[in-house]
Chains A and B, each alone.
Chain A
Amino acid sequence: MEKKNFTVTAVGKYGLEILNRISGLYLQKNIPVSSLLFTRGENGTGSYRLEVEAPENTMARTILQMKNIVDIKDVNYYTNK
């Protein structure tokens, strides 16, 4: 399966434990992460942005699992052209 570069963005509660849950998911699935940006927003919110390389179907499944993280509100991803 051809690997592509993706940008993943997630928003939810701000917290290191959430960052750890996200990075742990990519670690468990052995998906390389080339960059990770973690920002604190207003009212306790946080945004998470990752640059990753993975096959498209793996990415789709991983996004669904990210959405399962309790304090994550929304996740999106797109291919980097």
Chain B
Amino acid sequence: MKKRVKGSEAVLLALMQEGCDTIFGYPGGTIIPIYDDLYRYADKIKHILVRHEQGAVHAAEGYARSTGKTGVCMATSGPGATNFVTGIADAKLDSTPIVCISAQVNAEKLGTDFFQEADIIGITLPITKWSHQITSASEICETIAKAFYIARSGKPGPVVISITKNAETELTDFEYDKKELLKEIIKEPAMPDERLINKAAFLINNAEKPLIIAGQGIILSGAEKELAEISGKGNIPVATTLMGLSAIPTSNPMFVGRVGMHGNLAPNAMTQEADVIIAAGMRFSDRVTGNIKGYAPRAKIIHIEIDPSEIDKNVRAYLPLTGDVKAILASIIPQIKTTDRSSWMDFAKKKNKEEFAKIVEPGTTEKGCGEILMGQVIKEISQKSGGKSIIVTDVGQNQMFTARYLSFEKERSWITSGGLGTMGFGLPAAIGAKAGNPHREVIAIIGDGGFQMTMEELGTIMQCHINIKIVLMNNSFLGMVRQWQELFYDKRYSNTELENPDFQEIAQAYGIRHKRVSDCGKLNESIDDMLACKGPYFLEIIVKKEENVFPMVPAGADLNNIILGKTTNDK
């Protein structure tokens, strides 16, 4: 039914039609009309007032990744919109469905260098899946319907809508018939030819050493059940990428770990030994492959991927299967034969044992209660949270240690910035994850460098009562860069040591319960206190200053050249 409304109200009504219940945003001059209507719709759409627009985008990402819905963020024109840019680039590389709405100056003033005018459409063209500038209220419904459809269909990604102020204030007929609005762009998902499905099943059934590498595509398409089924039926070991973590429970006996630069020894070694690799919803990033020429030399690669442009982009696929990974796995599963692959799994166990002895055991147990190790922190959190919490990390050593030592039992439990590696992502993304999952525990694990990039969002936590637990692993270093400087630049620590403020006083100022722990003997009870706290909590853990994440495949090296510790590198 048609309703005559102002453009600003039409925006909110359209968002509600798309199922949007939360907006992360920050008001300003040109977007006041929408905020004015938001005041009236406050019981229908929750608004989380961030402290910086970058935080709004990361929060929308955290919301989207943890719920499977499309995240929405909103800002004013000019600096409000340009502050979106890092978050949009992050969402593009990590295929996160978000709709970013920014206001714009009046259409007649466009291009006049008007106050707070920035060409956000032009600025974000290379980092968006789609974008559109609305200059008339009559375009609002179609644009928002398209934006949501495009953001979440196919390979998901960020969409930007810029809306001029006159479009916000003009009157328009609001009628939201989604079918009608999307009739020109809806596409049926592609599905590979049946012969290719049969060929994939044949390759898998005849493989002696098959390996599934599961990427975030599994999570995006909701194929976790199919992944466990094909693996269990065929006795096929499963490794994940960094972004694919939580696609399969770490307790699943077929899970062998994570591939890539700081991944586990077993899956990296298995990649080099495998005769068939089923790459499911992953894109063979350089962080996964190392030197492409030496990657998986014995394997026939079956690449299941929704985006045709990813096929053969980095690694040549023996059998490309383009389409939705859930549907493709479901069509392969009936043909999979149960095959004994115990000797192949024994290989994984042997490598895991080696990694445990050389890295895990010394990396998670500080004998004599000296300095606290990052691995130790994550192991404790993992045991206490039982793999059921949503874990959000920042970028750097905190991220890699968490990825290494954390257990997952539930899907959509792992949120990190993978492709862009955005420091400052963790805190706002955790806010978004909690907003989307009020009944799940959300723990943000952050380093002292990244924390200081977006720590203003403590204000959002305070004002909006966001009940998240913040674990700050403080080593007073930009730890990952320092690690590279130590290993590859003869310990020349150029500008990586940080002189930090008193984080306890900062948490105190924001009214957040807080604690600092530096004694290894008190780590356990400090984590218990944090998890027992009913509201937000800030736990600062002073960790060993110069600790390295191993294993490590040096950038551009073959996976065979994995470093297990400093001594290996010294040879």
Cβ of B150 and Cβ of A70 under 8 Å apart? yes
Cβ of A20 and Cβ of B129 under 8 Å apart? no
* Contact A70/B185 with A17-B131, A20-B122, A28-B126 known, Cβ cut-off 8 Å: yes
Which residue on chain A has the smallest CB distance to residue B310? A64
Residues 21-52 of A, flagged 1 when their CB comes within 8 A of B and 0 if not, give 10010001000000000000000000000000
| Minimum distance in angstroms from A16 CB to a CB of chain B | 10
| Minimum distance in angstroms from B136 CB to a CB of chain A | 16
Cβ of B129 and Cβ of A70 under 8 Å apart? yes
In chain B, residues 118-158, which have Cβ atoms closer than 8 Å to a Cβ of chain A?
A: 121-122, 125-126, 129-132, 150, 155
Q: How far is the CA of A61 from the CA of B131 in the complex (A)?
A: 23
**Does A68 sit at the interface, judged by CB under 8 A?**
yes
Of the A-B pairs whose beta carbons lie under 8 Å apart in the complex, a sample of 28, sorted by A's number, is A17-B121, A17-B131, A17-B132, A20-B122, A20-B125, A21-B125, A21-B126, A24-B125, A24-B126, A28-B126, A61-B309, A61-B312, A61-B313, A64-B308, A64-B309, A64-B311, A65-B309, A67-B308, A67-B309, A68-B155, A68-B307, A68-B308, A68-B309, A70-B129, A70-B130, A70-B150, A70-B185, A71-B130
B residues at A contact (CB < 8 Å):
121-122, 125-126, 129-132, 150, 155, 185, 307-309, 311-313
Q: Binding site of A, secondary structure by majority: helix, strand, loop or mixed?
A: helix
Which chain B positions have C-beta within 8 A of A28? 126
| Minimum distance in angstroms from B216 CB to a CB of chain A | 18
**With A21-B126, A24-B125 given, can you name 8 additional A-B contacts, CB distance below 8 Å?**
A17-B121, A17-B131, A24-B126, A64-B311, A68-B308, A68-B309, A70-B129, A71-B130
Q: How far is the CA of A24 from the CA of B132 in the complex (A)?
A: 16
Q: How far is the CA of A17 from the CA of B160 in the complex (A)?
A: 13
Cβ of A17 and Cβ of B125 under 8 Å apart? yes
| Minimum distance in angstroms from B224 CB to a CB of chain A | 26
Closest 5 CB pairs of A and B: A64-B309, A70-B130, A65-B309, A24-B126, A64-B308
| Minimum distance in angstroms from B173 CB to a CB of chain A | 21
Which residue on chain A has the smallest CB distance to residue B133? A17
| Minimum distance in angstroms from A19 CB to a CB of chain B | 10
Q: How far is the CA of A20 from the CA of B313 in the complex (A)?
A: 23
Q: How far is the CA of A1 from the CA of B90 in the complex (A)?
A: 32
Among A17, A20, A28, the most chain B Cβ lie within 10 Å of the Cβ of A17
Which chain A positions have C-beta within 8 A of B130? 70-71
| Minimum distance in angstroms from A53 CB to a CB of chain B | 21
Which residue on chain A has the smallest CB distance to residue B308? A64
Q: How far is the CA of A65 from the CA of B309 in the complex (A)?
A: 6
Q: How far is the CA of A42 from the CA of B570 in the complex (A)?
A: 68
Which chain B positions have C-beta within 8 A of A17? 121, 125, 131-132
Q: How far is the CA of A28 from the CA of B311 in the complex (A)?
A: 19
| Minimum distance in angstroms from A55 CB to a CB of chain B | 14
| Minimum distance in angstroms from A56 CB to a CB of chain B | 12
Q: How far is the CA of A69 from the CA of B200 in the complex (A)?
A: 29
| Minimum distance in angstroms from A4 CB to a CB of chain B | 18
Which chain B positions have C-beta within 8 A of A21? 125-126
Which chain B positions have C-beta within 8 A of A65? 309
Q: How far is the CA of A37 from the CA of B281 in the complex (A)?
A: 36
| Minimum distance in angstroms from A36 CB to a CB of chain B | 16
Which chain A positions have C-beta within 8 A of B126? 21, 24, 28
Q: How far is the CA of A67 from the CA of B185 in the complex (A)?
A: 14
Q: How far is the CA of A68 from the CA of B309 in the complex (A)?
A: 8
Which chain B positions have C-beta within 8 A of A20? 122, 125
Which chain A positions have C-beta within 8 A of B121? 17
| Minimum distance in angstroms from A44 CB to a CB of chain B | 10
| Minimum distance in angstroms from B138 CB to a CB of chain A | 16
Which chain A positions have C-beta within 8 A of B308? 64, 67-68
Which chain A positions have C-beta within 8 A of B132? 17
Which residue on chain B has the smallest CB distance to residue A57? B312
Q: How far is the CA of A71 from the CA of B125 in the complex (A)?
A: 13
Q: How far is the CA of A61 from the CA of B316 in the complex (A)?
A: 12
Which chain B positions have C-beta within 8 A of A67? 308-309
Which chain B positions have C-beta within 8 A of A68? 155, 307-309
Which residue on chain A has the smallest CB distance to residue B127? A24
Which chain A positions have C-beta within 8 A of B307? 68
Which residue on chain B has the smallest CB distance to residue A63? B309
Q: How far is the CA of A70 from the CA of B130 in the complex (A)?
A: 7
Which chain A positions have C-beta within 8 A of B309? 61, 64-65, 67-68
